[in-house]
């Protein structure tokens, strides 16, 4: 119900109360009553709209001031002819409703102008919901009929060159202020045309705004700012309406002003204030079913635009593969979002989205690429009290046994509920992320205490995965010192050698290549080790081999036969230890030989 209708209904109620029996008036007659004030107002409004809509030349000007002036003249004429008494505030409310119908978005125009409302949901002509402070509310707003709703949808999408009809019954669009719109109509919707509008503030939210909302603390934003400046690849995950896009916009504000940024979205929502920003937006098919430009198309094109950073509004499908490849091939510091319930679920969804690209990639390959590309997942959630908070900051630091390794650096801890509001903060988990050295390399000064992250333990050497391949100038991981030398023991006239790995004795790194190259390096290292102990390959009587992938056995055995021609040695295969798997070994050897 509009403001004008509420005023009239209250006036009608007051009038009826004044005429109750016992207050100086006769009982109401039993004959039918004439149309009430609300009905008369609806008729007046319809007559004015008919006159304005019939003046095509006036509407073509697009001049709101001129249209408003014309509406005021017609309104006064109609009111005078109808002899309907109307106070000044009632006339002003009626004028605003008519202007909303002509130049705005009809009954929902006041809702779109209300800054306290974050979402408007039109479920057919008679049911309009809003979201305010994270909670849904049913309003009294209503449309006349389905055609009235369709008229508003057409007004939204017409300036964008998009269409909606039975052959294409859904559409994504945006309002001039950047608010995101989704519309779906029959036959897909069984309750009539449905509009969902995700509103965006006319002024982009800042760090201070999100801190005041309780989304995260200033300390956490300082940490994330350091991560963005260090060019870590960050994914923002979360459920629908959890604030992912808003948070991504704030993260994007940390990108230095001297970098070239390419943003890619379905409907442009990001509002970056840097000087060098190129905004790309996808395009649906035209009436002939041609001309579609997808996020994947734009992402591929964006790679040719010399970007320093790529920001993809949301990964929903095969574009995830292109995004991971961009992160892995020189576009560090890229940002994106995705729907998921947890950080781990985000990684699982990425696997599914990569497969949607249409390539039959091995799961191991997808996970290796994902683990190498993504450094940090920031997970947002809308809690039961309607508040939106960052609940996890999770590092992706490698892969082991075909599983992507993650660890929470910060996690939200609820401390209680005060007056229906959930209390708590992001707290450090006591785990030191493996990328901390990157801050120093980029001359980023961390505050004392480093956000509560534990200090580095000098007694504990860096883990094998403390530097991703992307982080190393040589493109390989830093090896644990324990892997650089094998174990040798002598007893009873025999030499026992174990943990011979495919490490080049000069570079102290794993040799490049596959199982063949690594097997050859292992045997070369074994030969040198045995000869240093007064033995040789000819004196080997028993062997043990550990393969990362059992399917590599045939290739390994072929190379082994080149070094040990003749009958196969006695021995056995074992499961490769986790430390060697993480280091990138495909094979390691152990033997027993005569002294």
Check residue 40 and give its pLDDT.
67
Architecture of domain 108-198: 2-Layer Sandwich (3.30)
Check residue 3 and give its pLDDT.
45
Cis peptide before 187 (omega within 30 of 0): yes
Phi, psi for 132 (deg, rounded to 5): -135, 125
CB 340 within 8 A of CB 238: yes
Cα Dmax for the chain: 126
Q: What is the torsion angle, in degrees rounded to the nearest 10, for the CA atoms of residue 558, residue 562, residue 563 and residue 568?
A: 60
- Is 16 buried (19+), middle (13-18) or exposed (0-12) by CB count in 10 A? exposed
List the structure tokens of 303: 């790679």
Check residue 479 and give its pLDDT.
61
Distance between CA atoms of 199 and 113, rounded to whole angstroms? 10
282 Cβ neighbours under 8 A, 6+ residues apart: 264, 265, 266, 293, 294, 295, 297, 298
Distance between CA atoms of 436 and 549, rounded to whole angstroms? 32
Check residue 376 and give its pLDDT.
96
Fold category of 216-452 in CATH: Rossmann fold (3.40.50)
Tell me the three-class secondary structure of 178-205, residue by residue.
Answer: CCEEEEECCCCCCCCCEEEEECCCCCCC
- pLDDT (tens place) for every residue of the chain, 595 residues total: 454 445 445 444 544 444 444 444 444 444 444 444 555 666 777 777 777 666 656 555 566 777 788 778 887 777 777 777 778 888 888 788 778 777 788 889 889 989 889 899 999 999 999 999 888 999 999 898 999 899 899 988 888 778 898 888 999 888 888 788 999 999 999 999 999 999 877 778 899 999 999 999 999 999 999 999 999 999 999 998 899 999 999 999 999 999 999 999 987 888 888 999 999 988 887 767 788 899 999 999 998 999 999 999 999 999 999 999 888 887 899 999 999 999 999 999 999 999 998 888 888 889 989 999 999 999 999 998 889 999 999 999 888 767 898 999 999 999 999 988 899 989 999 898 989 888 988 889 888 888 889 887 665 544 434 446 565 543 334 566 667 778 899 988 899 999 899 998 888 888 888 899 999 999 999 999 999 999 999 999 999 999 988 888 899 989 998 998 877 778 888 878 777 776 778 899 999 999 8
Distance between CA atoms of 550 and 546, rounded to whole angstroms? 9
Question: Which of 501, 508, 512 minimizes the C-alpha distance to 548?
Answer: 501
List the structure tokens of 360: 């039959």
In this structure, are strands 540-547 and 570-575 parallel, antiparallel, or unpaired?
parallel
**For 394, what's the count of Cα atoms within 13 Å in the CB-facing half-sphere?**
26
For domain 481-594, which CATH number applies: 3.30.1330.40, 3.10.129.10, 2.100.10.30, 1.10.8.60?
A: 3.30.1330.40
535 Cβ neighbours under 8 A, 6+ residues apart: 495, 593, 594, 595
- Residues written for the chain: 595
Query: For the chain, what are the domain ranges?
Result: 3-15+35-102, 108-198, 216-452, 481-594
């Amino acid at each position: 119900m509009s403001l004008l209708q509420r005023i009239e209904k209250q006036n009608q109620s007051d009038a009826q109360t004044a005429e109750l029996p016992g207050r100086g008036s006769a009982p109401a007659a039993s004959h039918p009553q004439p149309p009430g004030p609300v009905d008369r107002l609806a008729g007046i409004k319809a007559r004015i709209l008919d006159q304005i809509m019939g003046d095509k030349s006036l509407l073509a000007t697009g001049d709101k001031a001129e249209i408003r002036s014309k509406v005021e003249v017609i309104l006064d004429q109609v009111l005078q002819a109808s002899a309907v008494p109307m106070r000044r505030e009632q006339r002003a409310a009626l004028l605003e409703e008519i202007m909303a119908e002509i130049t705005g978005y009809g009954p929902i125009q006041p809702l779109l102008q209300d800054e306290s409302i974050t979402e408007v949901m039109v479920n057919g002509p008679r049911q309009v919901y809003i979201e305010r402070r994270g909670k849904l509310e049913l309003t009294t707003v209503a449309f006349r009929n389905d055609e009235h709703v369709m008229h508003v949808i057409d007004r939204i999408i017409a300036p964008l060159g998009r269409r909606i009809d039975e052959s294409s019954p859904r559409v994504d669009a945006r309002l001039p202020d950047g608010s995101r719109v989704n519309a779906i109509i029959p036959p897909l919707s069984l309750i009539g045309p449905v509009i969902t509008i995700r509103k965006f503030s006319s002024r982009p939210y800042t760090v201070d705004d999100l801190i005041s909302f309780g989304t995260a603390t200033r300390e956490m934003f300082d940490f994330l700012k350091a991560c963005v400046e260090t060019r870590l690849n960050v994914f923002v995950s979360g459920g629908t309406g959890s604030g992912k896009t808003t948070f991504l916009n704030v993260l994007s504000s940390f990108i230095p002003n001297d970098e070239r940024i390419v943003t890619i979205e379905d409907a442009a929502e990001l509002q970056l204030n840097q000087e060098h920003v190129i905004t790309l937006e996808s395009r649906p098919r035209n009436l002939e079913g041609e001309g579609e430009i997808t996020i994947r198309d734009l992402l591929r094109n964006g790679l040719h635009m010399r970007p320093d950073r790529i920001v993809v509004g949301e990964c929903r499908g095969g574009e995830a593969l292109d995004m991971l490849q961009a992160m892995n091939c020189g576009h560090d510091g890229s940002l994106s979002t995705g729907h998921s319930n947890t950080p781990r679920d985000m990684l699982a969804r990425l696997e599914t989205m990569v497969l949607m690209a249409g390539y039959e990639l091995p799961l191991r390959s997808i996970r290796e690429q994902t683990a190498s590309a993504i450094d940090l997942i920031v997970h947002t959630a809308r809690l039961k009290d309607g508040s939106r908070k960052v609940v996890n900051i999770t590092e992706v630091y490698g892969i082991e046994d075909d599983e992507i390794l993650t660890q929470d650096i910060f996690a939200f801890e609820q401390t209680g509920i005060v007056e229906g509001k959930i209390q708590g903060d992001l707290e450090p988990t006591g785990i030191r992320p493996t990328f901390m050295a990157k801050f120093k390399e980029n001359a980023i000064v961390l505050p004392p205490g480093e956000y509560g992250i534990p200090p580095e333990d000098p007694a504990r050497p860096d883990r094998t995965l403390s530097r991703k391949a992307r982080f190393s100038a040589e493109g390989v991981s830093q090896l644990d010192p324990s892997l650089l030398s094998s174990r040798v023991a002598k007893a009873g006239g025999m030499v026992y050698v174990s943990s011979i790995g495919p490490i080049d004795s000069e570079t102290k790194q794993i040799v490049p290549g596959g199982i063949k190259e690594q097997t050859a390096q292992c045997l070369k290292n074994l030969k040198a080790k045995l000869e240093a102990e007064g033995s040789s390959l000819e004196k080997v009587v028993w062997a043990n081999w550990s393969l990362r992938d059992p399917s590599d056995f045939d290739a390994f055995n072929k190379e082994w036969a080149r070094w040990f021609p003749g009958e196969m040695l006695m021995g056995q295969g074992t499961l490769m230890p986790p430390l060697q798997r993480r280091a990138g070994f495909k094979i390691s050897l152990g033997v027993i030989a005569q002294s």
